[in-house]
């Protein structure tokens, strides 16, 4: 493998054997592309599962309908999944293009933008999953101390589908968490302590 | 300011003017110490506010008591705050010691450990706040579609104190999020692309 070349501030050319680091870079890139497309797919799936979920039950000749808008946390989950999917589609395309071009991310402004967006998405999707999971637990088990009845005995099919959507969303948020770690790596290594073309220009 | 000295793999001493980067390092260190102690203080406060919260009401000569264990999300919040406070106490002491010693974090294993723990704590505290906030919203507004009554009309004082605990916990989770950004910076800059003593030993 061709060694990378760095120029020290004293203009002494310093050769370094960057083979190992390049292999790491390649792995990081592949992982990023895979995760972005996983998030896109599962984000769409999660949003579709939850938002299409309804069940009608007849109780004492009274028709009652459960839908995802009955729980605000599920609405938040659908929105978060939708945004995550849309964002990952855009980023996924960017990743594929940069892989085809073979370009490496050295632009600090872009690295900061990607890092920030990934962080926001990771925390948003995780918060949405946590809130929806809390609602789901209340639906499944109720909270007798507060006279909140369990509803999943009544709307079994509805609850199962919400559960499937939650699992999908949970994988989305885990993938976003991993991605935000990768984009942190991509950003902060530009601030390496070993002064060169990339570091120290805060 | 004394310039830092790096040794290139070819054993050519390379001087670099690390003044700017050192200033950044100092600021990062100070921010880390402040955030760790803020988390410790507010974590203890949040856990204390929520766990000590009770209210007794008499309804038709029937005594009813609201306590934080009635909502599992609040129990999770108290535990998460407690762990965050304990963890931050240990880390806060480590930070102060390393500041007094004037040592810089170059140990990759330690940087990885701190980064991983900070990430886990950030996501855990945020998930706890999201779940508790969802419960709080249900308590405040109820969910009429599911016959879940609002309880804050009845237990006003209880709900106010939970709200205060939630605000405190939210600041804890925001601080943990910032900290996990700082520890990502501390870790990944060791993998700077500009080969030197610190990078490329994956």
Write out pLDDT tens, residues B45-54.
999 999 998 8
Contact flag A18-B195 (C-beta cutoff 8 Å): yes
Contact B10 A15 (CB under 8 A): yes
Residue of B nearest to A128 (CA): B130
**What's the pLDDT score for residue B193?**
57
CB A124 within 8 A of CB A79: no
Whether the CB-CB separation of B80 and B130 falls below 8 Å is answered with no
CA distances from B161 to A38, A99, A147, B155, B164 (A): 41, 53, 21, 10, 5
Of the residues A27, A55, A192, A199, the best mutation for testing chain B's interface (the one with the most B CB atoms within 10 Å of its CB) is A192
Among left, alpha and beta (phi > 0; psi -120 to 50; other), residue B40 is alpha
Q: Within 13 Å, how many C-alpha atoms sit on residue A114's CB side?
A: 25
How distant is the Cα of B5 from the closest Cα of chain A, in angstroms? 9
Torsion, CA A10, CA A13, CA A16, CA A22, rounded to 10? 100
Q: What angle do CA A138, A142, A148 make, to 5 degrees?
A: 105
- The predicted structure's pLDDT at residue A92: 93
Contact assignment for B191 to A202 by CB distance below 8 Å: no
B143 and A70 within 8 Å at the Cβ level: the answer is yes
Residue pair B129/B76 in contact by the 8 Å Cβ criterion:
no
Residue A135: CB partners within 8 Å, gap ≥ 6? A71, A73, A74, B134, B138
**Complex ipTM more than 0.90, yes or no:** no
Cβ atoms A16, B199 nearer than 8 A: no
Interface probe for B, chosen from A176, A194, A200 (most Cβ of B below 10 Å), is A194
Chosen CATH of A19-191 out of 1.10.15, 1.20.140, 3.30.70, 1.10.1060: 1.20.140
Say what the pLDDT of residue B19 is: 67
- Predicted confidence at residue B26, as pLDDT, reads 83
Q: Answer yes or no: do A15 and B15 touch at CB < 8 A.
A: no
Tens digits of residue pLDDT in B115-162: 999 999 999 999 999 999 999 999 999 888 788 888 888 889 999 999
Within the 109-128 window of chain A, which residues sit less than 8 Å (CB to CB) from chain B?
119, 122-123, 126-128
How many alpha carbons fall within 13 Å on the CB side of residue B160?
A: 6
- Cα-flanking dihedrals φ and ψ of residue A112, to 5°? -65, -40
- Record the pTM: 0.82
> Given CB atoms, is A131 within the 8 Å cutoff of chain B?
yes
pLDDT at B7 exceeding the cut of 70 = no
For residues B171 and B46, give the distance between their C-alpha atoms in angstroms, rounded to a whole number. Answer: 10
Strand intervals (E) in A24-76: 54-59, 62-67
Query: Which tens digit of pLDDT belongs to each residue from B90-107?
Result: 999 998 998 888 777 678
Contact at 8 Å (CB) between B9 and A16? Answer: yes
Are B70 and A123 within 8 A, CB to CB? no
B117 backbone dihedrals φ, ψ, rounded to 5°: -65, -40
Residue in chain B nearest A139 by alpha carbon: B146
Instruction: Report the candidate in B125, B26, B43, B127 with the shortest Cα–Cα distance to residue B90.
Output: B43
**pLDDT 10s digit of each residue in chain A, 202 long?**
444 444 344 333 333 445 677 788 888 889 999 999 999 999 999 999 999 988 888 878 788 888 888 888 999 999 999 999 999 999 999 989 988 887 776 788 888 999 999 999 999 999 999 999 999 999 999 888 788 888 888 888 999 999 999 999 999 999 999 999 999 998 988 887 554 433 333 3
> Given A12, A127, A196, which is nearest B194 (Cβ)?
A196
Residues 25-64 of chain B with CB under 8 A from chain A are none
- Per CATH, the number for B27-191 is 1.20.140
**DSSP letter string, chain B:** -PPEEEE-TT--EEEE--HHHHHHHHHHHHHHHHHHHHHHHHHHHHHHHHHT-EEEEEETTEEEEEEGGGSHHHHHHHHHHHHHHHHHHHHHHHHHHHHHHT-----HHHHHHHHHHHHHHHHHHHHHHHHHHHHHHHHHH-BGGGTB---TTT-HHHHHHHHHHHHHHHHHHHHHHHHHHHHHHHHHGGG-SS-SSSSS--
**pLDDT band, very low/low/confident/very high, at B18 (cuts 50, 70, 90):** low
Alpha helices (H) in A59-201, listed in sequence order? 72-101, 108-141, 156-188
Mean pLDDT score across all residues of chain B: 83
Kindly state whether A190 is in contact with chain B, defined as any CB-CB distance less than 8 angstroms: yes
Which residues in chain A are contacts of B179 at CB distance < 8 A?
none
Which residue ranges make up each domain of chain A? 19-191
- Two tokens, residue B67: 């306590």
Q: How far apart are the first and last CA of chain B?
A: 32
């Amino acid at each position: 493998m061709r060694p990378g070349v760095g120029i020290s501030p004293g203009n002494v050319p310093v050769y370094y054997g960057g083979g190992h680091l390049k292999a790491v870079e390649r792995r990081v890139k592949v992982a990023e592309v895979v995760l972005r497309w996983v998030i896109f797919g599962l984000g769409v799936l999660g949003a579709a599962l939850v938002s299409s979920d309804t069940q009608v039950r007849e109780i004492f000749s009274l028709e009652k309908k459960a839908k995802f808008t009955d729980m605000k946390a599920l609405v938040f989950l659908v929105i978060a999944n939708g945004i995550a999917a849309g964002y990952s589609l855009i980023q996924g395309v960017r990743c594929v293009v940069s892989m085809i071009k073979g370009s490496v991310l050295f632009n600090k402004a872009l690295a900061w933008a990607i890092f920030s967006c990934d962080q926001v998405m990771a925390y948003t999707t995780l918060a949405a999953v946590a809130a929806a999971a809390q609602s789901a637990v209340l639906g499944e088990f109720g909270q007798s101390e507060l006279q909140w009845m369990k509803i999943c005995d009544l709307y079994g099919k509805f609850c199962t589908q919400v559960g499937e959507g939650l699992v999908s969303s949970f994988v989305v948020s885990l993938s976003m968490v991993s991605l935000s770690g990768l984009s942190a790596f991509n950003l902060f290594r530009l601030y390496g302590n070993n002064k060169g073309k990339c570091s120290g220009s805060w």
